[in-house]
Amino acid sequence: MQKIKSLMARQGLKSPQESVVDMSPVESFRTPSKEELRELREQPTDPQVEQEIIDSIEEVYFSSDSFDTVQYELEKLPPDLNLLELEEYRDKLKRQQAAVSKRVADLILEKQPSYVKVSSLSHLGKLGLHKCFNSAFRQLRSAKEGFTEASLGLLANQRRRQLLTGLLKSLRTIKTLQRTDVRLSEMLEEEDYPGAIQLCLECQKAASTFKHYNCISELNSKLQDTLEQIEEQLDVALSKTCKHFDVSHYTKVQLAYKLLGKTQTAMDQLHMHFTQAIHNTVFQVVLGYVELCAGNADTKFQKMPYKDLCTHITTDSYIPCLTDLCKALWEVMLSYHLTMQWHDEHYKEEETTPGADDSSAEGSDESTVGRSYVKKKLEHGLTRIWQEVQLKVKAYLLGTDVSNFKYDDFIVVLDVISRLMQVGEEFCGSKSELLQESIKRQSVNYFKNYHRTRLEELRMFLENETWELCPVKSNFSIAQLHEFRFMGQCRSPSVSPSRQPESTEPVELCLFEQYLQGGNPFEMQIDNKEEETEDVLASNGYESDELEKSVYQDYDSDSDVPEELKQDYVDEQTGDGPVKSVSRETLRSRKRSDYNAPILTNTTLNVIRLVGKYMQMMNILKPIAFDVIHCVSQLFDYYLYAVYTFFGRNDMYESSGLGLISSRLRTTLSRIQESLIDMEAGGENAGPHASPEERKEKVPRPHLSQLVILTSSDTLYGLAERVVATESLVFLAEQFEFLQPHLDTTMPSAKKPFLQQFYSQTVSTASELRKPIYWIVAAKAIDYEQMLLLMVGVKWDIKEIMSQHNVYVDVLLKEFEKFNQRLGDVSKIVRIPLPVSNVLWEHCIRLANRTLVEGYANVKKCSNEGRALMQLDFQQFLMKLEKLTDLRPIPDKEFVETYIKVYYLTENDMEQFIKNHREYSMKQLTNLVNVCLGSHINKKARQKLLAAIDDIDRPKR
């Protein structure tokens, strides 16, 4: 009370007693100013709060009446003034002054009647009783009229008004707070989560001012429940972003979590939702197909684990379900990718745009920690999410046996998984080990069955092949086949490379950038099945071009001959005489030489297509590249072995002495027979019996179709069939050479020696089969035995030099002319390439020359003139032979000339010759020594030379 009295004194107010004595009751109270009324309205209404404010007044203010408060406050000011701090301190002093003023007013209103009564009684003794009572009554009347009824009533009403005004304001605020639930519901329906949270927080802050009301405690509880409800709805909204990411929606959700201060919690929830989204997505997709194929309303599938559910997928629905599965998983991964992209862009904007709270170092540090946490959480989530995707797809892949799928269907499966692995690599840089392991397991099982079936089909094709020409266009290339379209090397055959437009291929975008605005990388599987029609076969069996269509047919019209060639005379504008018109035979020859279509059979074309299919598997699934290439090599091995078995195997090779089969080819054929051919199945038990497992990996030896006749001289011993078969193999080898770079890039480094060995020891030997296959034609097409018989009748021990060659030369040349004519007949059926023609002529000439040497070796007696006749006969043969063939040099020419000239060698030279020339047989060398006996070699020298010949033959025994 003393503090209040002292404060009243400083404010110019007197004590109640002094007011009654010195002035009238009305004068003792002045009407409050507007500022004082405003301060009274703003003063706190809570008595406890009011008392706390009064207690906060410093003790020095109540020390004495002479205390200078202004000087005291000025001395307290710091050297550096801060306007904000000064305003806060001023407001504090105002609150203290208002609290004291209110307390003083309350005391005056409470104590004033007693002051008046006491003061009146004190005057009774001084003025006399009568005057005292009159004065007292006048003062009481005046106090009643002027102060008690007017002033105090006015103050009471003013106080009541202030209280009611504050109460009305509080009631309105409370009413507004209680009605916020309607607006909150509207905001939640509009998905304005940040606004709803902001409103709740503001309501909680406002409610703290009115916490002394009982209704406010209920409101706080209601607001807390609303916040929890918003968090639940916010969590649901966060889960929706896992499948269909929307920037505006996600921005609202993140801002809402930021207002709640739960950004890190949101990240934890987000990864949980993504994991759950993957599980729910794959389960619903597979369940839909399982129930659709089950055809009933049985709900037992809904309670099955996902792994067991995958085993109920049917073969027909396997690919559509896999495609839809990958599409759905793509949507989840794309949403995660967009989520990371959103955070990267958002943080970049925060770094470049200064925030309002940059002055707060503590807030900045907390923000940096939050960003770091979110970034690491998102980066770690990439691997976790992709791992979940792999596990789900792996369970689906291994849930069905795909070994009996059609090839095209299995390629689609490989393509889908390959595309999914590409998504994984772009998503998080993963090599998708789980997917690779599972698809490799399925591929190996499928490929073993597929390859075994294809080898059996190849054997069936080969055994039913009649080795007729498959007519294809002259510009045929394997890149035109559908099976090789994946290589991307096919050019339009009608446009030359120089005329093709320059390819300006754009930089290939990653899948997430390519399908960012819409679409799905797995929708392309549907389009892959729509293949374009191939155009590789010639029309009506032959090329439709007018200059090439009649190569193998008789020419009944000359409609395709240029007009200038039809004329008898052609004006060359040179001043020369007229030129004779070109004959039809010349035109036919030109057309035949221009027709360079590949020689291949239907079987060859099927093998090429099969190789393309194998390479598609290898290209899509790199881990099985070695297994695929190994099977591809088996296809080529079996084809090569079949061609050799059908057309090249002959027991006469060894006795021919021509070295038709090289050691490399012989080794290759032996390897193929040992590793691939099941000799027991063909009734040929060679070596120890193989185990059932080994035989399962082998193929029976093929047999030539009975429709193919190779023993008829009319067909030149099946020359047309031999040409088609052999040149088909050579063409196949050329295609393998073309494919080698592609095979080399897909082959694992550790297995590349196998590929190199396959090409160097197998593919390159295909052309070497020409020698043994065409040798039998050359051996039987010309009657070499007749020539030997004619040479026996020739007398070689003549005494004079002859100017006329012997008859056997003419007979031999006629045989060659007949052979040349028959080659022309065969060329009307099938084109004979120049290498084939050269091999045939080489064989014939070699056999003829060796027959000549054999005939000369049968001579019993021979003179120098006889040797000169031999040279004359041989030169005549060579001169006429060079007109029949363009083969140069003539094969084995030196073989004959050297044998004739050996006759003139001395003893020592002949001995050296015997040691150096082992291409001659023992009989030929022995006969040479015996014929020379008596002319320039004696018996002793003869024995020495025969001993030398015997030494050469001994190692062969």
The helix/strand/coil state of 379 is helix
Instruction: Give the whole-angstrom CA distance, residue 694 versus residue 697.
Output: 5
Is residue 585 assigned to a domain?
Answer: no
Q: Average pLDDT of 623-650?
A: 90
Residue 205 has pLDDT above 60, yes or no: yes
Residues 308 and 267 in one domain: yes
Q: How many CB atoms neighbour CB 570 within 10 A? A: 14
User: Which of the four pLDDT bands, split at 50, 70 and 90, describes residue 768?
Assistant: very high
pLDDT in tens, 656-695: 556 678 889 999 999 999 999 987 765 454 445 556 666 7
The helix/strand/coil state of 937 is strand
Domain C-terminal end among 222, 241, 263: 222
pTM for this predicted structure: 0.66
Is residue 810 assigned to a domain?
Answer: yes
Is residue 566 assigned to a domain?
Answer: no
* Residue 322, domain extent: 249-348+371-441
Mean pLDDT rounded to a whole number for the chain: 76
> 216 exposed, middle or buried (CB, 10 Å; 0-12, 13-18, 19+)?
buried
Q: Average pLDDT of 895-914?
A: 87
pLDDT in tens, 755-765: 999 999 999 99
Is residue 308 assigned to a domain?
Answer: yes
pLDDT in tens, 443-502: 888 888 899 999 999 999 999 999 999 888 888 888 888 888 888 743 333 333 333 444
User: What is the domain count for the chain?
Assistant: 6
pLDDT in tens, 336-389: 989 988 888 887 776 666 554 444 555 555 567 777 888 888 888 899 999 999
CA atoms within 13 A on the CB side of 560: 16
Sequence-separated (6 or more) residues with CB below 8 Å from residue 929: 910, 937, 942, 945, 946, 949
Residues 296 and 436 in one domain: yes
Residues 744 and 853 in one domain: no
User: Which of the four pLDDT bands, split at 50, 70 and 90, describes residue 161?
Assistant: confident
**Residue 147: what pLDDT?**
55
What are the distances in angstroms from CA 863 to CA 285, 423, 790, 872, 903?
100, 90, 19, 14, 9
Is residue 30 assigned to a domain?
Answer: no
Residues 811 and 745 in one domain: no
Domain C-terminal end among 758, 774, 790: 774
Among 129, 140, 255, smallest CA distance to 196 is for 255
Q: How many CB atoms neighbour CB 819 within 10 A? A: 18
Q: Average pLDDT of 540-566?
A: 39
**Which residue has 């002093």 as its token pair?**
93
Is residue 877 assigned to a domain?
Answer: yes
Domain C-terminal end among 111, 126, 142: 111
**Residue 905: what pLDDT?**
83
Instruction: Give the whole-angstrom CA distance, residue 75 versus residue 606.
Output: 109
**Residue 478: what pLDDT?**
87
pLDDT in tens, 783-841: 999 989 999 888 888 888 888 889 999 999 999 999 999 999 999 999 999 999 999 99
Amino acid letter, 726: T
Residues 323 and 392 in one domain: yes
Residues 385 and 285 in one domain: yes
Residue 6 has pLDDT above 90, yes or no: no
Amino acid letter, 437: E
pLDDT in tens, 836-858: 999 999 999 999 999 999 999 88
Residues 199 and 85 in one domain: no
Q: Is 718 left (phi over 0), alpha (psi -120 to 50) or beta?
A: left
Q: Is the sign of the CA dihedral 202, 205, 209, 213 positive or negative?
A: positive
Residues 909 and 887 in one domain: no
User: Which of the four pLDDT bands, split at 50, 70 and 90, describes residue 303?
Assistant: confident
Is residue 233 assigned to a domain?
Answer: no
**Residue 7: what pLDDT?**
40
**Residue 256: what pLDDT?**
83
Q: Residue 860 phi/psi, 5° resolution?
A: -90, -40
Is residue 87 assigned to a domain?
Answer: yes
Residues 944 and 801 in one domain: no
Residues 853 and 920 in one domain: no
Of residues 597 and 442, more confidently modeled: 442
Residues 701 and 766 in one domain: yes
Measured in whole angstroms, how far is the alpha carbon of residue 253 from the centre of its chain?
34
Instruction: Give the whole-angstrom CA distance, residue 18 versus residue 20.
Output: 5
Among 405, 402, 394, 400, smallest CA distance to 437 is for 394
Residues 93 and 58 in one domain: yes
Instruction: Give the whole-angstrom CA distance, residue 439 versus residue 415.
Output: 11
Of residues 141 and 860, more confidently modeled: 860
Ranges of H-type helices in 56-152: 69-76, 83-122, 124-127, 129-142
